Amino acid sequence: KAGVTQTPRYLIKTRGQQVTLSCSPISGHRSVSWYQQTPGQGLQFLFEYFSETQRNKGNFPGRFSGRQFSNSRSEMNVSTLELGDSALYLCASRAGGFSSSEAFFGQGTRLTVV
Amino acid sequence: AQKVTQAQTEISVVEKEDVTLDCVYETRDTTYYLFWYKQPPSGELVFLIRRNSFDEQNEISGRYSWNFQKSTSSFNFTITASQVVDSAVYFCALSEAGNTGGFKTIFGAGTRLFVKA
């Protein structure tokens, strides 16, 4: 069974640009969550999708958005990039859309904003 | 509000030593789940264990053991006879139902464990 796949693995962008990250969950998993990981802030929750609906959102500005497609694949978009957006972005999929479900993580996309 | 505190930023031990990673959480919910994840240098977090708020039974799995104490809001993780391969960042996480359905998972800051040969 293939794991969670995130593309691209590495990305370098310039301030002001926008970026789209992709996440393909484990087959059959309908819940996808996104997290931002930085040395200073640790792992912070961005949003969670289930069956194409965003159910919860973390404390991030509106520049951060996402969506989920009917095949459960998810994309995350960051517009007007700032230097502080440099981070490892992790995607996690869960079989059930419940708080009890363990998460399966991808290897992440490392975004560097210059 | 949810909060997870891992007070130990880094721990360094010599192989074969036992090591305990501390986790203290805050929540107002009566139903919640606690997790431990391991993040090796490759970056991918790996699930280790889950506990629900109604199950305070401690667990041992090989060299790993967990101590959940609701009275002190702690969910500590012990590695017995540590090995170099245990070197990683360990995260404690709290998951509970979200206000708009679904759930929210909050992670602690992580504890970086170095195991020296």
Task: Render pLDDT for B26-54 as a digit per residue (tens, 0 to 9).
Answer: 999 888 999 999 999 888 899 998 898 88
Residue with tokens 């264990």: B49
Least confident piece of the model among A61-70, A88-97, B99-108? B99-108
Is the CB of residue B17 less than 8 Å from the CB of residue B40? no
- Is the CB of A68 inside 8 Å of chain B's CB atoms? no
The mean per-residue pLDDT over the stretch B8-27 comes to 97
| First-last CA distance in chain B | 41
| Residue A37 confidence (pLDDT) above 80 | yes
| pLDDT value of residue A104 | 93
Cβ within 8 Å, pair B43-A98: no
Cβ within 8 Å, pair B102-A97: yes
| pLDDT value of residue B58 | 81
Sequence-distant (≥ 6) Cβ neighbours of residue B110 within 8 angstroms: A42, A43, B6, B39, B89, B90, B91
- The alpha carbon torsion through A50, A56, A60, A65 (nearest 10 deg) reads 30
Sequence-distant (≥ 6) Cβ neighbours of residue B57 within 8 angstroms: B68
Give the chain A residue whose CA is nearest to the CA of B97. Answer: A99
Is the CB of residue B46 less than 8 Å from the CB of residue B40? yes
- In this complex, the residue of B47, B99, B102 whose CB is nearest that of residue A48 is B102
Tell me if residue B100 falls in helix, strand or coil: coil
Radius of gyration of chain B (CA): 14
| pLDDT value of residue B112 | 96
Is the CB of residue B38 less than 8 Å from the CB of residue B46? yes
Sequence-distant (≥ 6) Cβ neighbours of residue A56 within 8 angstroms: A45, A47, A48, B98, B99, B100, B101, B102, B103, B104
Q: Tell me the C-alpha distance between A34 and A19, whole Å.
A: 15
Q: Tell me the C-alpha distance between B76 and B67, whole Å.
A: 5
Distance from CA of B72 to the nearest CA of A (A): 21
| Residue A1 confidence (pLDDT) above 80 | no
Q: Which of A43, A52, A94, A110 to mutate to test the interface with B (most CBs of B within 10 A)?
A: A43
Please, which pLDDT band fits residue B61 given cuts at 50, 70 and 90? Answer: confident
DSSP E strand boundaries for B1-117: 3-5, 10-14, 19-21, 24-26, 33-39, 46-52, 59-61, 64-69, 74-79, 88-97, 103-107, 111-116
- In this complex, the residue of B50, B91, B95 whose CB is nearest that of residue A43 is B91
The mean per-residue pLDDT over the stretch A73-95 comes to 96
Q: How high does pLDDT run on average in chain B?
A: 91
